[in-house]
């Protein structure tokens, strides 16, 4: 049995991309997270110490997006996953990173990547 904490729609501004204008002008990225963990202790005790704070998850995603520019959103997702898996209660994570607007005339919708990583 795997329990999950979901945090969706984290918006943060960063300077990620292959195209020069992305690295100069920047853009908002949207991050969705699902973290595998055992929520039974928190459910039974009603204590935050037995869970993973969605505020902490949001802060990790925001920090990665806002601090170091990457060429690829794949690298952004990987760094977010690595940091979340350092949390003691995190067993696995799914990270989705989306660019709502891509500076390419052939792409009208958003572009995203999604990765899944396990501790261990």
pLDDT tens-digit readout, 26-66: 999 999 999 999 999 999 999 999 999 999 999 999 999 99
Q: What's the confidence (pLDDT) of residue 106?
A: 76
Could you say which of 86, 96, 99, 119 is catalytic? 99
Q: Which residue has the higher pLDDT, 103 or 101?
A: 101
User: pTM of the predicted model, to two decimals?
Assistant: 0.94
Torsion of CA 49, 51, 53, 58, to 10 degrees: 150
Q: What's the confidence (pLDDT) of residue 1?
A: 63
Q: Helix 54-67 to helix 73-84 angle, to the nearest 10 degrees? A: 140
Residue 110 binned pLDDT confidence (cut-offs 50, 70, 90): confident
Q: Where are the alpha helices (DSSP H) in the chain?
A: 20-25, 40-45, 54-67, 73-84
Token output for 32 = 């969705």
Length of the chain: 120
| 96 in active site | no
Q: How high is the mean pLDDT of the chain?
A: 94
Any idea what the CATH number is for the domain that residue 106 is in?
3.30.1130.10
Domain count, the chain: 1
Name the residue range of residue 39's domain. 3-118
Cβ(33)–Cβ(57) below 8 Å: yes
């Amino acid at each position: 049995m795997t329990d999950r904490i979901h945090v969706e729609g984290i918006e943060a501004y960063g300077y990620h991309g292959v195209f020069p204008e992305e690295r100069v002008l920047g853009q908002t990225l949207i991050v969705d997270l699902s973290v595998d963990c055992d929520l039974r202790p928190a459910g039974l005790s009603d204590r935050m110490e037995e869970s993973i704070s969605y505020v902490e998850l949001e802060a990790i995603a925001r920090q990665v997006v806002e601090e170091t520019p990457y060429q690829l959103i794949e690298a952004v997702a990987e760094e977010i996953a690595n940091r979340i898996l350092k949390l003691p209660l995190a067993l696995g994570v799914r990270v989705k990173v989306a660019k709502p607007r891509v500076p390419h005339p052939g792409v009208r919708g958003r572009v995203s990547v999604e990765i899944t990583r396990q501790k261990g």
